[in-house]
Amino acid sequence: MGSRSSSSADMSRQRHNEQEDEQSHGEADQPNGRTARSARPTPAGEDSSRSRTTASRSASSSTSGSSGSNSQGRSEEDVDLAQVLAYLLRRGQVRLVHGGGETGLQLVQSYSDSEDDSDSAWDGRLGDRYNPPVDLNPDTREVDCSEIKTQILLATGAQALKEKSFTRLLQTREQGRCHSTSFSHGERSHIRSHFLPNYMAHRENLQQKAFCGVYSENGSMFMSACQDQNVRLYDTRHGRFRLLKTIKARDVGWSVLDVAFTPDGANLLYSSWSDYIHICSIDGDSESHTALDLNPEERRFCVFSLAASSDGREILGGANDGCLYVFDREQNKRTLKIDSHEDDVNAVAFADVSSQILFSGGDDALCKVWDRRTLREDNPQPVGHLAGHRDGITFIDSKGDARFLISNSKDQTIKLWDIRKFSPKEGLAASRKAVTQQNWDYRWQQVPKRALKKHKLQGDTSIMTYRGHGVLHTLIRCRFSPAFTTGQKYIYTGCSTGKVVVYDVLTGQIVTKLSNHDACVRDVSWHPFQENLVSSSWDGAIRLWEYRQTQFFDDDFVSVQAQIPETKNENEGDSL
């Protein structure tokens, strides 16, 4: 099926309203973080072991089925039981041992071989009541040898600048000793990268949780999505932050979970617990609102992550059924469904403006790299894997050069990757094993001590790991800072403690933290051309941060003092 008017999608709303009722008690994007694909999302307050819920439901369905059920029903039931068993084995919650019976095998429940699961890393403190551990001495050996270091140093003018003092740079320019009549792009980036947002200049208070917030490609608009089912557009031209338009989202279950602008800025996209990705026009008084039917096989379906190709023709989505979806707007239909991950696909991204290389990340803790030109439904093979996380991936952001990307994870880390360094088979095995040992739910449970392990997994090919922010409750986003103002020198991320955390890409050190939210910061977005950053939080607040100088720079003060000549007061005489 192709796109259709959203009003004609009403037939599916009753089904999604049932989802919303069940999910209204939950505290995350997905009502449960790791579900067997055949199982419905488990709302908060139910048994935290989704495998037990699924298994009991399947068993109940099996015993209550009539003997006269047709072969198709039995086949579907067998598939469900097989998926549940595979899920339980993969999660390490059950294991097969030699025993009695016709098969000579017995299924037994597994128990943790350590006390980590019952011992919190932060003494049971959750959300804004704990301080995520900071890596005071990050391992920079890999990034020091990587090409990204050269790129950033060139982009920020650090290699060419012998004199780092701002006043000396200004003096050099005024004396005409620059390479041209003005600063080079690298020199400008070097200067502007020191003026990081540090002051809350504006605040929008909403009635419910803010889930998403992104700037448009040219920075003229900001889009916010809230749990009240409204998508808000703000005019951000000329330093403004003024509400421009409010669009009522349609066919929403639980909340709008992801939004995106089309590259031309004429339309916006959003997704939810629904079979559809919605596209809505921005320009003009008349509102064009269309539902793009992905035609999934799952009864309960959600697209957690969205991305639009550079020409706006293809829409990429990652869903809870472990699949990647590609919708072609010109053909007006879904053109690809790729079975990509063993669990929920939480993040998708295009590698660069060519839109030929795709990234995906899921609850199986793997990043996968795909070539759009060779994607086939009958042979869904990625061109490579990136393994090293110990738990599910919540977000992926590309540097935009088809080479480097970052991933945020429930293991409380961000990792920097180079797609020229794919992970070997032992890396995939180590990551899968680590995931099966994660017997906690990041939405409400304590973080186990194993999340604090600093040593790399075998086969981890990441070139840098960043620690110091919390990833709890929801799919928290992280991004590279803008190239124009900072030379992509920083990584910034939301945090479950209500902060925005900014890291230096090359050192791994925390450069600054912005603290003024009362709940989890789920999304963050930096203006592409200005020193403005917007944070979207579950406290219902959207905060605009900008730079305000509060003190002199040390080098400014020293430079000024050095240029003041010593003078002797003419009236000062010799002491008697």
Q: What tens digit of pLDDT does each residue of 488-541 get?
A: 999 999 999 999 999 999 999 999 999 999 999 999 999 999 999 999 999 999
Distance CA 366, CA 393 (A): 7
Sign of CA dihedral 487, 491, 494, 499: negative
Question: What are the angstrom distances between the C-alpha of 201 and each of 219, 512, 527?
Answer: 17, 17, 14
Q: Is the pLDDT of residue 73 over 60?
A: no
Phi first, then psi, for residue 381 (nearest 5°) are -110, 125
Please compute the mean of the pLDDT values over residues 193-214 and round it to a whole number. 93
Q: Which residues, in sequence order, are CB contacts of 95 under 8 Å at separation 6+? A: 89, 107, 108, 110
The pLDDT, as a whole number, for residue 515 is 94
Give the per-residue pLDDT at 159. Answer: 54
Mean pLDDT lowest for which of 101-105, 407-411, 480-484?
A: 101-105
Q: Which helix (H) or strand (E) holds 503?
A: strand 499-504
Q: Are the CB atoms for 360 and 370 separated by under 8 Å? A: yes
Q: What is the pLDDT of residue 444?
A: 83
If 0-12 CB within 10 Å is exposed, 13-18 middle and 19+ buried, where does residue 480 land? buried
Which has more pLDDT, 109 or 57? 109
Query: Nearest Cα to 517, choosing from 549, 494, 487, 488?
Result: 494
Environment class of 103 (CB within 10 Å of its CB; exposed 0-12, middle 13-18, buried 19+): exposed
According to DSSP, residue 564 is labeled S
User: CA-CA distance, 255 to 24, in Å (whole number)?
Assistant: 9
Averaged pLDDT for residues 41-65: 36
Q: Left, alpha or beta for 21 (phi > 0: left; psi -120 to 50: alpha)?
A: alpha
pLDDT mean over 127-152 = 88
pLDDT (0 to 100) of residue 107: 55
Distance of CA 19 to the CA centre of its chain: 24
240-262 burial code (b ≥16 CB/10 A, e <16):
ebeeeeebebbbbbbbbbbbbbb
Edge-to-edge strands, sheet with 413-418:
393-398, 404-409, 413-418, 464-467
Contact residues for 573 (Cβ-Cβ < 8 A; gap 6+): none
When pLDDT is averaged across residues 464-482 and rounded to a whole number, the result is 97
Query: In sequence order, what are the residues at sequence separation of 6 or more whose Cβ sits closer than 8 angstroms to the Cβ of residue 413?
Result: 389, 465, 466, 467
Q: φ, ψ for residue 432 (rounded to 5)? A: -60, -40
pTM (two decimals): 0.77
For residue 13, CA distances in Å to 6, 7, 255, 538 come to 11, 10, 14, 25
**Position 14 pLDDT exceeds 80:** no
* Rounded (5°) CA angle 492-496-499: 50
Backbone angles phi, psi at 326, to 5 degrees: -125, 120
Per-residue model confidence as pLDDT tens digits over 152-174: 999 887 655 555 566 666 656 55
Whether pLDDT at 106 is above 70: no
Top-confidence residue, 128 or 192 = 192
Q: Which two tokens stand for residue 77?
A: 């039931």
* Helix (H/G/I), strand (E/B), else coil: 57: helix
The residue ranking higher by pLDDT, 187 or 140, is: 140
Rg of the chain's alpha carbons, rounded to an integer?
A: 26
What span, in angstroms and rounded, lies between the C-alpha atoms of 422 and 368?
9
**Mean pLDDT across the chain:** 79
Q: How far apart are CA 387 and CA 429, in angstroms?
A: 9
d(CA 479, CA 474): 16
Tokens of 276: 């559809």
